[in-house]
Amino acid sequence: MFGIYSSLMFLGGSLVYLLLLLPLIALPAISVVYFIWEAVWKFRSRRHLL
């Protein structure tokens, strides 16, 4: 019983840790994706104008 409880506490702690780490991982990923999307959009619009 105590082993199950400790494993559940460990899983809960790791989930909280992942939720805390998620913004730190997501913010650079979103900025990189946005930068690539903007570069592709500018390249496409420039090529369309020519």
Nearest residue to 40 via CA among 5, 48, 17: 48
Return the pLDDT at 13: 85
Measured distance CA(25)–CA(31) in Å, rounded? 11
**Above 70 in pLDDT, residue 50?**
no
Segment 1-40, tens digit of pLDDT: 678 888 888 888 888 888 889 888 899 999 999 999 999 9
3-state secondary structure of 3: helix
Predicted TM-score (pTM) of the model is: 0.47
Residue with tokens 């500018």: 42
Take residue 43 and report the two structure tokens written for it: 């390249």
**Above 80 in pLDDT, residue 48?**
no
